[in-house]
Structure 1
């Protein structure tokens, strides 16, 4: 059995977690509970729990401080964090510090908790199995797909070489989206984890679709959709990209590049398109890269489609077409989102009034700015500011 330690300063949460599962029937037992990180340290030393479930906001020693302390002391178990919607910055920090997963308090149910615990104990089992002796490794389907996208072999030979796994779906039409934060790697303020990257993508599709998410590294992933599934669901990749873009910008001021392509004949054509995406510097053609650079340097000024296209020496109609094709959204929508993200960063700093911030991001009408901010962030600028300056 795996031992569980629960840490939360709210008694009702600890009671709820104790009663939500018949723990022992599923191979777990609760070895103790604590109300903060400081109290938990003595229990951890005493019981050596396999899994710690901890809140992030607690008195005396909060969840992040506890995770840092455990990391410094080479804690061998796994950590799950509890959070509320407004705690996403703390959740991201916890994941970067090494937490295995997170659970939204408002959404915890017995099946979601059990699923999360099972995934966590699988990690523990893998740690236990790691010995100097050779072990048999059976690649997962995603491992195989990742190896295909990084190879040059033909689709037919690849499927034939892996007959033990059903890969027939790779012959069917598909769509891909390459999600990458590569352009931010030199920015010290940038941080994201593999877990957060996947969760944002899954949150955007909201269970309607079942894409393959191939995590390439800590800052990029390739998402592959079944074209048949997209058509049946009446969903377009462009819609998903817009939703995903909004998810990322809601929780941080960095938005990924997301070039995509639909109606690809099979996974072999998808690989060719993916390789084109990664071979282009910045993952965009020169015309689009030049436009993105111009917007980044001039968003604070009054811009029109005519002025943008003139400054990048392109016709408006061509620019609109190629920009939407590669970026997945219109120039106007991209510019509005860019301005809102810049405004969000200024609001977090707390140095300027909303009227000043509105003007600083190129929007003279404060009322329009507030409407635009709420459209993209799903929260008003004043409410967003209260999260950081209460």
Structure 2
């Protein structure tokens, strides 16, 4: 269902159009004739839009819209954090995005390492981390790189442009299509269709999801991030589920093409390769990690340094952490309200689990918007 376009203005927050789409969504769900219809989006930005605009109030009761593994900070594994903390303890200057600062490792976060006197700096881009390396030529500067395909392209572009000799990358970049394969194979989830992240598809193109849709029998719809983008994508997805058409639909055509950004893809695959890696709390994901290729070993912190994670300290069992449901939440098996720590022992200022750390984490989003993103439950 195409969005209406005014002559001089694109309108993505039109209440009248939103009501029309909500009614269409209700009709499509009812036409399926069973409950619930389970769909999953794999992007924290989609969850932010859904919660911020109270879109769950417009969703039919029989439609379950689940957030999957769409938060890169949330899926950064504990040993990866330990490596970054250890590098700081070894005297390296570690640069990373702000969301990574509170992410728990086995015993410490990078914020803890900073409080202990470690050189940890928050940056807003990999280019800024390179500038830090230029300002400190006598120090080893390590960029702890997180994010999916979109931010991995930025890391690749900077490395291809050339970096100072004292600069290296500790990659925790992830590759979303691989995680979708793992989630779809979990029999407990019963996911019937997927909403794919529009910004990642700008890089990869929408055709990348075609083999997945055919293999799993679950349609995929690429969506943008405005309220009408989300609603229109859900209408299309439910329509495909109803008609049993495991196809890929592009509902973000103003930004996404079939083939994607090919120059960006060339940069990405010149620098990175997919490898099997652990996604925190979810599973070991074949081809789920983006690691530097062997020819980039000279800027690969794991190859360049002997990282002694014993400096972080032995792993101590945390009783609260054992109660955390982040893995189940990111797999679509639970939601934040199912966790008894949510909003109590686990809050943004003292996160127990990774989902409460990042602005793209489900628990953080639900907490930010009052813990009740479905406005129908307010009362």
Shorter-normalised TM range: under 0.3
| TM-score scaled by length of structure 2 | 0.27
Query: Whose radius of gyration is greater, 1 or 2?
Result: 1
Q: Which has the higher contact order (CA 8 A, sep 6+)?
A: 2
Q: What is the TM-score of this pair, normalised by structure 1?
A: 0.27
